[in-house]
Structure 1
Amino acid sequence: MAKTEKKGNAIVETVKTVVYALLIAGVFRTLFFQPFWIPSGSMKQTLLIGDFLFVNKMAYGYSYASCPSVILPRFGINLDAKTLCGWADGDNTRLFGGEPERGDVVVFRHPVSGRDYIKRLIGLPGDRVQITNGVITLNGEVVTQTPDGQFDELMELQGPQGLRPRCANGAVGQGGTCSKERVIETLPNGVSYAVLNIGPQASDRTGVYTVPEGQYFFMGDNRDNSADSRLAQTAGGVGFVPYENLIGRADRIMFSSAGRSMLFFWTWRGDRFFKAVK
């Protein structure tokens, strides 16, 4: 009888320990830092497929979007942030809110699909944004772009989804060098970063977007391979993003793997561990 009781108590204690650990992890993820894997190449060369980072949620304060989504299709789990914290949605405000700065790399909740996206903040509320021949005009001022050679990568399957990169140097066979033109773009507040160009396309030429109050305009650094605020939400883009949809700021890459799995240690990119996001 005593052994049975001890065994039962051990099981109860184990379950309690697991529950407490999950609660602590949930609170930590909700309030402080959220893990984020880079699934696509829309932010190359700043962020590569397979980069792993923690999103700083304290940077902009908290809204319903700060609740983590738990989506595991294999197990039939689809707990969306709006399902958990939808009661806080609708007023476009934040608790302990902080204002994002132009040039920040931000993780936000897509206004329609609810999926997490990561892009660079280009337009603030009230800004007028236009793209002409791939160059941004911001409130009537042309944003400086300085040629900076090219960005090269191998033509190979990238990440768990096995995505192939797009190249400016035409059709490239497996194992070949895929190149893109690179420029350094400098925003009016002095923030500079690399932008990649593949070739002329419709998103290089737009009308004037006037960013509404309480909303933001985002673009990917890999300009010709990014669904962002240049496209309306109904056309598969992001459109304007409300303040309450911001999740946090990407500050530092913690780990990076170029392979199909993080367990493939021979594909780890050691030069990107603990690298600051600029």
Structure 2
Amino acid sequence: MTMQSILGNFALILFVLMVVTGIIWVLDVFVLSKQRRAAADRALAEYDARTAKLTADGIRLDTQQNAREKLEAEHLRQPTWIEYSGSFFPVIALVFVLRSFLFEPFKIPSSSMVPTLLVGDLILVNKFTYGIRLPIINQKIVQLNDPQRGDVMVFKYPMDTSQDYIKRVVGVPGDKITYEGKKLTVNGKPVSYAQQDDYLDDESLVYKKQFKENLTGVEHRILNDDRAPTLNLGDVREFPNKEACTYTNEGFTCTVPAGNYFMMGDNRDNSADSRYWGFVPDKNIVGKAVAVWMNLSNPRRIGGIQ
């Protein structure tokens, strides 16, 4: 499932705007404002000299009392482009910092994480829980926590890092993941499933089997479609470390390489994920999805993500 942020390349756009408005703000504070002050002082000195001469010559001036103040204000007034830059810079800088290092908003455009996340959900992604990364280049500079099985994680799609994907972490480095008969086994231990009421898929208007999956202690709901096979072998692509996986008509077994993660969508038969395009390297991690903050068509969706 592809998932785009509110604007494509928004982080880069925001960074450029911050730099441009910041340069203008600094230039105004340290150079242009002083030039305007000097120009105002010269104009006031000329005004005072002219007024004094006319008064000495016995010429009565019929001027407004605040003419001097208006003259000064006119010379000190910021040009519109500088005024707007100075106003926008702190706002843009704050948004950039919050979005780059704390929380970033995303919108869910497809159904591969149903029933956990629905199309149209606006979610918040914690950018620092897995470590602090430099914006734009996504380079980790401070290591904090590692992704855990069951986490709902946003990452750069390994086949096209310009796209953001969201899936659930099923395997961490070193795990042996087996998926057969539409059921997971992690390190030789079968994952437990409790059947729930069937789920009506809003897109296909077809009921799907719904289960509560206990992924090594993390409970969440998944969907299975009886009409779909366990795995579409024809959709499996070439990917790095593919030799760590064995595929059969019944499913597959993969051992997760160091520094990588195995991701799957909760809508198991409607998700293009690690089963088909491989592992997610640590360098591709964006953050952990933590909350739905809005769904315009369903406000009751607001809340945490399980």
Q: Same fold (TM over 0.5)?
A: yes
Residue 256 of structure 1: how far off its partner (Å): 0.7
Amino acid of the structure 2 residue aligned with 1:203 = L
| 2:299 counterpart (270, 273, 276) | 270
Q: Alpha-carbon deviation of 1:214? A: 1.0
Instruction: Provide the C-alpha distance between the structure 2 equivalents of 1:119 and 1:184, rounded to a whole number of angstroms.
Output: 17
- Give 1:10 deviation, angstroms: 4.6
Superposed displacement of residue 244, structure 1: 2.0
Give the superposition deviation at 1:277: 0.2
Q: Aligned residue for 2:158?
A: 111
Match of 1:97 in 2: 144
- CA distance in 2 between counterparts of 1:217 and 1:25 reads 32
In the alignment, structure 1 residue 23 sits paired with structure 2 residue 89: no
Which stretches of structure 1, 4 residues or longer, exceed 3 Å deviation after superposition? 1-11
- Of residues 188, 196, 215, the one that matches 2:223 is 196
Amino acid at match of 1:183: F
More helix by share: 2
Determine what percentage of the aligned residue pairs are the same residue.
35
**Residue equivalent to 1:133:** 181
Unpaired segments of 5 or more residues in structure 2?
Answer: 1-69, 233-249
Aligned to 2:119: 49
CA distance in 1, matches of 2:132, 2:286: 8
1:65-76 to structure 2, matched below 5 A, reads 67=135
Residue 12 (structure 1) aligned with residue 82 (structure 2): yes
Higher relative contact order (CA 8 A, sep 6+): 1
2:4 alignment counterpart = none
Deviation at 1:126, TM superposition (A): 0.4
Cα separation, 2, equivalents of 1:212 and 1:125: 5
1:1-278 correspondence runs (5 A)? 2=71, 5=75, 8-64=78-134, 67=135, 81=136, 85=137, 88=139, 94-114=141-161, 115-154=163-202, 165-166=203-204, 177-188=205-216, 190-199=217-226, 200-203=228-231, 205-232=250-277, 239-257=278-296, 268-273=297-302, 275-278=303-306
Separation in 2 of the partners of 1:251 and 1:276?
6
| Aligned residue identity for 1:123 | G
CA contact (8 A) 1:62 1:95 kept: yes
Compared with structure 1, are the counterparts of its residues 223 and 11 closer, same or farther at alpha carbon in structure 2 (3 Å cutoff)? same
Measured on the aligned residues, the alpha-carbon RMSD in Å equals 2.1
Structure 1: distance between partners of 2:145 and 2:264: 21
- Preserved CA contact (<8 Å) 2:148 2:169: yes
Residue 65 (structure 2) aligns with: none
CA distance in 2, matches of 1:254, 1:269: 11
Deviation at 1:60, TM superposition (A): 0.5
Contact 1:128 1:209 in 2 (8 A): yes
CA distance in 2, matches of 1:125, 1:5: 65
For the residues of structure 1 that align with 2:81 and 2:177, how far apart are their CA atoms? 60
Aligned pairs, number: 217
1:153, distance to aligned residue in structure 2 (A): 4.2
The answer as to whether partners of 1:256 and 1:269 remain within 8 angstroms in 2 is yes
Larger radius of gyration: 2
Q: 1:183 to 1:202 in 2, by over 3 A?
A: closer
Which whole-Å CA distance do the structure 1 matches of 2:209 and 2:178 have between them? 21
Q: CA deviation at 1:4?
A: 6.2
